[in-house]
Chains A and B, each alone.
Chain A
Amino acid sequence: MKKLALAASLALAAPAAADPNPADWPAVLAEAKGQTVYWNAWGGSTTTNDFIAWIGSRVAEDYGVTLEHVKLTDTADAVSRVVAEQAAGTDEGGAVDMIWINGANFAAMKDADLLFGPYAAALPNWQFVDTEGKSVEVDFTVPTEGFESPWAMAQVVFIHDSETVPEPPKSAEALKAWIAANPGRFTYPQPPDFLGTTFLKQMLVELVEDPGLLQSPANDSYDEVTAPLWNWLDEVTPALWRSGKAYPQTGPRQLQLINDGEVDLAISFSPGEATAAIANDQLPESARTYVLDGGTIGNASYVAIPYNANAKAGAMVVANFLLSPEAQLRAQTPDILGYGTVLAMDKLDAADRAAFDTLELGIATLSPAELGTALPEPHPSWMTRIQADWAERFGVAK
C-alpha cells in the first residue's frame, strides 16, 4: 500500500509535460528517451502487426522509445477514446499517443481540435517526402496542415485467382456482367468497414458521369449523383455471395474466402497485400492483382498525435522513424508489408535510391506504371452519406 501511495503522489507531483516544440528536435529526442508510446493501429493484419513490432524494436534501439501497439478492431475506437477523454476533461496524459489514421477519422479529429501539431513538416525526415508527386498533404480532400504525417501510400487493386478467373472484369459494367454470369462468387466487405466503403466509392467513381463533382462536399445533388451506384447494387446484390444476406466483416477476411474457394475476386487497398499473403500461405500461388481500366482510388496512410497524448515527443520520434528510408524500404518489401513508399526517389542519396530500385516487387504486385496514377478520394461527406444509405438499403436483408 505504501508503495502504491508513493507512486500515486509521485505521479501527481510530476510536472505536466509542456508541449514539446517540434522545431527543437534535440529537445524532442531528449524528452522522448524513456517514453512509452501507445500506437493505436488496426490490428487485424499479421503482416502489419509484425511491421509495427519491428518499428518498436528499432526505435527502442536508436532512441530509447518503447512502442506499444494497441491493436484496434476499428480505428474509430481510438478516436472515440480521445473524444471521451476530452469530454471528461482529461486534457493531459491521455491513453492514446499516436493513431494510424486517415479520411473521415482525421477530418473528425481535426475539426474538433483533437490533434497535436502542426508537427509533420518539422520532422527531420520530412525532407525526403514526395510532396509534389504524391498526395500526402491532402487527405480525402481535407488539407492535412501538418497535423498528420504520412507513412504509406495505398491504392485500390483487385485480387483474382488467375487459374479460375484468367480474364478478370476491369470496369463496373464488366464486373456486373461477371457477377451475373458467376452468381455467389463475388462479395465485398460490409460497410461501414473502410474497405467495403472504399468498394462503394470505387464503383461510384466508375459509374458517376462527372467524377469531379465528388471533390466538393455532397449537397442537394447527392441523390441524383449516386443514383447509378444504387441501381448497380440493386442489380448485382441478388447474385452476390450468400445472395447479399451476409458479408465478410473486414477486408482481409476476403483473402480467407478466396483461399477457401468461396469467392474468386477481392478488393484490397494495398498493392502488395496479395504477394505477402501468398508468401504466408493465405492465398493460392496463382493469385494476382489488377486495376480497373479507368484507374483506381489511392490515398495515404498517416499517423496523428492526439492533443492530450501522454508521450508526444516519443510519438514524433516514431513518426519520424516511419519516414526514414530504412523503415520505408522495409514497408515496401513485398513479403514483409508491400506498402508504397511516401518518399521521393530523387530526394534520397544514391545508396538508398539503389536499394529501392533493386527491390523485387513480388509475384502478384503491379509496378508503379501498371498501377497508373491514383484517382483522388471523394470528399468524406460522400462516404458518410453513402454508408448511411447502404445500411438503409442493403444492411437489412430482405
Chain B
Amino acid sequence: MPNNTPSKTGWGIVPLVTIALLLGPVTAGMIGTILPAFGGLRPGGGGGFSLQAWREVAATPGLGTSAWLSLKTGLISTFGAIFISLLLVAGWHGTRAFRAVEQALSPLLAVPHVTAALGLAFLMAPSGWLARLGSPWATGWQRPPDLLILQDPGGWSLIAGLIAKETPFLLLMMLAALPQARPAERLQVALAAGYGRVTGWIFAVFPNVYAQLRLPVYAVLAYGISNVDVALVLGPSTPSMLSVQILRWMSDPDLALRAPAAAAALLQLGLVIIGLALWRLAEAACGTIGRRLLWRGIRGANRRDDLARGIGLTLSIAAALAVIGGLVGHLLWSFAGRWRFPDALPESLRLRTWARHGQEIIDVSAGTLALAFAAALIALVLVIGCLEAEHRRGRVMGRGGLLVLYMPLILPQITFLPGLQILLLQTGASMGWLPVLIAHLVFVLPYVFLSLAGPYRAWDARYATLGAALNASPDRVLWQLRLPMLLGSVLTALAVGMAVSVGQFLPTLLASGGRLPTLTTEALAIASGGDRRAIGAWAAALTLAALMPFVIAVLLPRVTYRNRRGVLDG
C-alpha cells in the first residue's frame, strides 16, 4: 500500500490544525488578560508596568470571602459528585436498579447548567415547589418562611446545584473508564477475600478507574471554582463568587475597571491551581489512608455495605429528581395561569406564555441549533481526522495531547475569554457569528474528541486488515467500513458537541457583543427579570434544543440499520 503514510495523504496536518484551534484562542485570551493586569493595554494607550490593578482588586469589599467561596464550592461540589457516583457504581453496577438510574441520569448530562440551576432555584426556594407541595397541610405555612436557602452567603445552594448537575457527568465518565479496569474480575477477587461489595469495589477497582477519571475530575473541579452561569442563579451575592465579580467589572462602562477584572481573572486562575494542588494532595492522602485500611483488614461487609449502597442510590436518585423536577417545574410555569403560594399547582393552564414568546423562541432556537451544528460538525471532522491520523501512524495520542485537549476545560473561561474579547476587538473581528463559532469550537472540540475516541480506537482493526486484503485503500476502509460501522458513536459525538455548544454562555456573550442571541444568553437575560413563566418557556426550549440531537443520534442508526443488527453492536 503506497499511500498510507500520513504525510502523503495529508492526514498529518489535521492534528496540527486542531491543536492550533484549541490553543490559539486560549493563548490569545491569556495574553489579553495578562497585559492589562500589569498595566498594559490601557485605555488611551501609554503606561508601563504597574501593580495598580492588583491594589484595586485587593481593596474590593469582601474579596477574601469571594475567593474562599470559589475554592470551597469547587472542592466540596466535586467531592460530593464523585462520592455519589462512586457509591452508586460500587454498590449497584450490574444490577437492574443501576441500569434504571443510569438511564435516568444520562440524558440529564445534556441539560444545560443554566436550566438545571434555574429549575433547582424554583424547587428549593422557601416559596418553591417543594414547600408548596407540603404546605399548608404538613408545614402549616400559609406564607413562605423567611429562610435563607437560595443564594446563601455560604454558597451551599450553589454546591447542591453543582453536585446535582455534575454527578451524571462523572458517573458516565466512570462507566466509560470501567471496561479497561476489568471490574468483574477484580471485584470477584475482593469478594473472595471477604470484602463487602462497596468496600471491595473501592479498594480493588476504583484506583484503576480513577487513573482514567482524573482529567474529567479536574475539569469538574475547575468549573466548580470558576463558573459564572450557575453562580449567577444559585450563588451568593453578599459578596458574590469571584467569577461573578469579574464579569461585573468587565461589563462596567468605566473602561479603567478592565484592569482589575484582568487581575482578578488571574487570581481566579490561581484559585483553580490551588484547588487542583489541594486535590492532588487529597488524592495522595486517600491513597495512603486506603493502603493503611487495607492492612488493617477493614472489609466493610454486611450492614455497613448495605448502608453505603442505600446512601449511594438515594443520593443519586435525589440528584436525578432535582434536575428532572426542575425541568417539570419550568414546563408547568410556561403554561401556568395565576399560581401563588401555597398552591401546589397553578389555578389554570393557558397557552398565553407560548403565544407571546413562541415565535421568538423558534427564531432563536433555529439560530442556536445552526450554530451548534456548524461547531459540532467542524469539530467532528477534525476529530475523525485526528483519530484517523493516529490510527495510520499506529501511535495513540500521548499525555501531552490529552493535556492540550483538556486545557480549555480546566483553564477557567472567565480567565481567558475577557482577554479574547479585547483582542478580537483589536483586530476588528468582533462582530457576527465567526468569532462565536471559533470560541464555541474551543469547548466543543474536546468533548467531541472524548466522546468519539473510545469507540473509534476500540473498533476492531481486523476489519481494516480484511478490507486491505480485498484491495481497499485506507480511505475506502475509512469511508465504507469504519465510519458506517461507527455511525452510532459518530452521531453521539455530534450530539455531545451540539449540546456543549447550545449550553455556552460566556463564549457567546463575549465573542458576539450580544449580537448573536442564543437560547442560553436569552434565558439568562430573561432570568434577571424573574418572570417565571418566561423563564419556564425559554428554559424548556433550551433543554429541548440540547436533548434533541441525542434523540436523533439514538434513533437514526436504528432506522438506518434496521436490517443489519450486527452493525449496531459492532
Residues of A near any B CB (own CB < 8 A) = 38, 40, 43-46, 50, 53, 68, 70-74, 76-81, 83-85, 87-88, 90, 93, 95-96, 104-105, 108-109, 183-185, 190, 241-250, 252-257, 259-262, 280-282, 284, 391-392, 394-397
Contacts and interface: CB of A to CB of B under 8 A. Distances in A.
B522 interface: yes
Nearest to A82: B253
Contacts of B476: none
B515 A38 contact: yes
Nearest to B125: A260
Interface string B226-264: 000000000011110000000000111111000000000
11 contacts: A45-B531, A71-B514, A80-B251, A84-B255, A87-B43, A88-B430, A246-B236, A248-B530, A253-B528, A253-B529, A282-B533
Contacts of B342: 261
Contacts of A109: 253
A243 B255 CA distance: 34
Contacts of A83: 43, 253, 255
B31 to A, nearest CB: 15
Interface in B130-167: 142-144, 146, 148, 150-153
B62 interface: yes
Interface of B: 43-44, 61-62, 65, 125-127, 142-144, 146, 148, 150-153, 236-239, 250-255, 336-342, 356-357, 360, 421-422, 425-426, 428, 430-431, 513-515, 517, 522, 524-526, 528-534
B238 A246 contact: yes
B425 to A, nearest CB: 4
B513 A81 contact: yes
Contacts of A70: 514-515, 517
B61 A252 contact: no
B47 to A, nearest CB: 13
Given A281-B337, A395-B62, A72 B514 contact: yes
B238 A397 contact: yes
A82 to B, nearest CB: 9
Contacts of A257: 127
Given A71-B525, A87-B44, A260-B144, 12 more contacts: A45-B529, A46-B531, A46-B533, A68-B515, A109-B253, A246-B237, A257-B127, A262-B144, A281-B337, A394-B238, A395-B61, A396-B62
A67 B126 CA distance: 41
Contacts of A241: 146
Contact of A43 (B125, B336, B428, B525): B525
Report, nearest first, the 3 A-B pairs whose CB atoms are least far apart.
Answer: A44-B529, A253-B530, A184-B146
Contacts, number: 171
A71 B513 CA distance: 11
A108 B152 CA distance: 34
Contacts of A262: 126-127, 143-144, 146, 341
A90 B236 contact: no
A260 B514 contact: no
Contacts of B422: 84, 88
A391 B341 contact: no
Contacts of B254: 108
Contacts of A185: 146
Contacts of B62: 395-396
A255 B530 contact: yes
A71 B530 contact: no
Contact of B238 (A68, A252, A282, A395): A395
Contacts of A95: 430-431, 513-515
Given A87-B255, A260-B144, A245 B425 contact: no
A53 B422 CA distance: 31
A261 B251 contact: no
Contacts of B255: 80, 83-84, 87
Contacts of B144: 260-262
Contacts of A245: 148, 152-153, 238
A247 B524 CA distance: 18
Given A255-B530, A260-B340, A281-B337, A396 B61 contact: yes
A73 B524 contact: yes
B492 to A, nearest CB: 30
Nearest to B509: A77
Contacts of A108: 253-254
Nearest to A109: B253
A224 B360 CA distance: 51
B160 to A, nearest CB: 15
A391 B146 CA distance: 23
Contacts of A391: 61
Nearest to A384: B254
B137 to A, nearest CB: 16
A84 B341 contact: no
B425 A88 contact: yes
A260 B18 CA distance: 50
A261 B340 contact: yes
Contact of B428 (A50, A90, A253): A90
Contacts of B426: 88
Contacts of A392: 61
A71 B524 CA distance: 10
A44 B251 contact: no
Contact of B531 (A76, A80, A256, A395): A256
Given A77-B514, A246-B151, A252-B530, A84 B252 contact: no
B425 A281 contact: no
Contacts of B356: 46, 50
Given A95-B431, A261-B127, A262-B126, A44 B525 contact: yes
A44 B538 CA distance: 13
B59 to A, nearest CB: 10
A40 B153 CA distance: 32
Nearest to B64: A396
A21 to B, nearest CB: 26
Contact of B528 (A73, A280, A396): A73
B425 A249 contact: no
A192 to B, nearest CB: 8
